[in-house]
């Protein structure tokens, strides 16, 4: 037997999910390529800003091969971290320097680094349902145990009382994601303050330290007045994980960073842990693309494109009669399934040429997720199919 039992289990557990991601191929075979509406995958479809390509060309021309391709410092180049710190200092009105920033190969890497740094075997990490399914993998790989907690029914906002009930002496972290995949919700400063107050009290009562981990790859995809606050201002022991996958449309380049503020308890030790985890997991941010994000730190992809997509899909589906959560950010619409079983509803959608992901893939049964990082024409073309499906199911 060559492959470990742990990996065999992971492969088996991943199989039903993998099948969900092949809907587009199935539909294309059934209906042909021009009459299929794929809302299943969250792959950015807006191109990176032109400045990204300009920067890549500039770096390739101006730097020697050795400078371009050498190993980088574990935490990332100081000048890159400085550019990011200055940008975020201005944006959030907080005191940040390069010492507060560690570059990593995207948010997924950042979260793995954080889990590896914080968790001992059996430590518990609270996540809020529905959540990005990969969290289970990140937590379990670091020896932790994932604890699922409900959010408020219908609005999917933080339910502080439910989190409080789930906290035990083994709780090491609460992991939140704002703007949220899959609901599009952005948590308000008030609800985060309420969460922070409860965490401070629980830590004090139980004599434990709980870290708040904020997963923010969609931070800059926010469509209205609601913005993502700087979490370490609200709760001292916060680690923020950011990524350029969505804001600069660079998911394949694997680039992001972790922010650790000065208010973090045992800051230097936590930082040393994060740096050690980056090295041991070998998820250092790639050299060329670090330089590029420093050049393009004030740029972003065409966020207005996603905004129009989200508004159109939300308004049109709501008009038909679907119950949807209005997306404040990210690029997902969370829609109540028209039948109880969301897997069955996803199949019904396929019969109507539409690919969606069942909410159960995010521990959110009874709902489906529509990714609106698609061509605007896909949304316009899909509306009659959504209408027909509604009439077929609801009469
Ligand atoms: N967290 C959430 C909620 C995501 O949706 C994703 C990717 O889609 C990630 C983390 C991973 O992002 P990255 O591409 O930066 O690794």
Residue 300's pLDDT is 96
Asked if residue 215 has its Cβ within 6 Å of ligand 1, the reply is yes
CA distance 250 to 252: 6
CA distance 326 to 313: 10
Residue 16's pLDDT is 67
Average pLDDT, consecutive stretches of 10 residues, N- to C-terminus, the chain (395 residues): 88 74 88 93 93 97 93 97 98 96 98 98 98 93 96 97 98 98 98 98 98 98 94 97 98 97 95 97 97 97 98 98 98 98 96 95 96 97 98 94
Angle, helices 106-118/267-281, rounded to nearest 10 degrees: 120
pTM: 0.97
What's the CA dihedral at 295, 298, 302, 304 to 10 degrees?
A: 180
* Three-state SS letters, 296-344: CCCCCCCHHHHHHHHHHHHHHHHHHCCCEECCCECCEEEEECCCCCHHH
Domains and CATH numbers, the chain: 5-48+301-394 (3.90.1150.10), 50-295 (3.40.640.10)
Q: What is the mean pLDDT of the chain?
A: 96
Asked if residue 256 has its Cβ within 6 Å of ligand 1, the reply is yes
Distance 244 CA to ligand 1 centre (A): 10
Mutate to test the pocket of ligand 1, among 41, 42, 132 (most ligand atoms within 8 A of CB): 132
CA distance 158 to 150: 8
Question: Quick one: which atom of ligand 1 is closest to the CA of 177?
Answer: 3
Respond yes or no on whether the N-terminal peptide bond of residue 182 is cis (omega within 30° of 0).
yes
Distance 36 CA to ligand 1 centre (A): 26
Distance 292 CA to ligand 1 centre (A): 20
Percent of the chain exceeding pLDDT 90 equals 92
Q: Which of 286, 230, 253, 200 is nearest to 100 (CA)?
A: 230
Asked if residue 108 has its Cβ within 6 Å of ligand 1, the reply is yes
CA distance 309 to 379: 7
Sign (positive/negative) of CA torsion 36, 37, 41, 45? Answer: positive
Residue 40: exposure state from Cβ atoms within 10 A (0-12, 13-18, ≥19)? buried
Q: In angstroms, what is the C-alpha Rg of the chain?
A: 21
CB-CB contact of 247 with 277 (8 Å): no
pLDDT digits (tens, 9 = 90+) for 203-245: 999 999 999 999 999 999 999 999 999 999 999 999 999 999 9
Asked if residue 243 has its Cβ within 6 Å of ligand 1, the reply is yes
Asked if residue 107 has its Cβ within 6 Å of ligand 1, the reply is yes
Distance 58 CA to ligand 1 centre (A): 28
Question: Quick one: which atom of ligand 1 is closest to the CA of 42?
Answer: 8
Sign (positive/negative) of CA torsion 322, 328, 333, 337? Answer: negative
Distance 351 CA to ligand 1 centre (A): 30
């Amino acid at each position: 037997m060559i492959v470990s039992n742990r990996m065999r289990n992971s492969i088996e557990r991943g199989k039903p999910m993998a099948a969900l991601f092949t809907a587009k191929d199935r539909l294309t075979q059934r209906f042909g390529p021009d009459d299929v509406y794929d809302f299943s995958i969250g792959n950015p479809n807006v191109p990176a800003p032109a400045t990204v390509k300009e920067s890549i060309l500039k770096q390739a021309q101006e730097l020697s091969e050795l400078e371009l391709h050498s190993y980088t410092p574990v935490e990332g180049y100081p000048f890159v971290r400085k550019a990011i710190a200055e940008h975020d200092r201005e944006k959030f009105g907080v005191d940040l320097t390069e010492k507060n920033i560690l570059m990593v190969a995207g948010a997924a890497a950042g979260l793995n680094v954080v889990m590896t740094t914080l968790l001992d075997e059996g430590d518990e990490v609270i996540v809020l349902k529905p959540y990005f399914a990969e969290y289970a993998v990140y937590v379990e790989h670091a020896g932790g145990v994932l604890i699922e907690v409900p959010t408020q029914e219908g609005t999917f906002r933080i339910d502080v009382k439910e989190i409080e009930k789930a906290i035990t002496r083994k709780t090491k972290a609460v992991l939140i994601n704002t703007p949220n995949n899959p609901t599009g919700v952005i948590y308000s400063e008030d609800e985060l303050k309420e969460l922070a107050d409860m965490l401070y009290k629980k830590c004090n009562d139980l004599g434990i330290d709980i870290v708040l981990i904020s997963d923010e790859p969609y931070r800059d995809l926010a469509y209205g007045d609601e913005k993502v606050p700087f979490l370490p201002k609200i709760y001292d022991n916060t680690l923020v994980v950011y990524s350029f996958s969505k804001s600069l449309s660079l998911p394949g380049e694997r680039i992001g960073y972790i922010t650790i503020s000065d208010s973090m308890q045992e800051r230097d030790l936590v930082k040393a842990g994060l740096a050690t985890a980056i090295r041991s997991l070998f998820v250092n941010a790639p050299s060329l693309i670090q330089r590029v994000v420093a050049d393009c730190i004030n740029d972003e992809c065409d966020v207005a494109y996603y905004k129009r997509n989200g508004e159109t899909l939300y308004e049109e589906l709501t008009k038909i009669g679907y119950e949807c959560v209005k997306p404040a950010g990210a690029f997902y619409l969370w829609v109540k399934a028209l039948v109880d079983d969301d897997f069955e509803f996803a199949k019904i959608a396929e019969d109507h040429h539409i690919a969606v992901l069942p909410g159960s893939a995010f521990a959110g049964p009874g709902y489906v997720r529509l990714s609106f990082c698609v061509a605007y024409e896909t949304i316009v073309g899909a509306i009659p199919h959504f209408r027909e499906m509604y009439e077929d199911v609801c009469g």
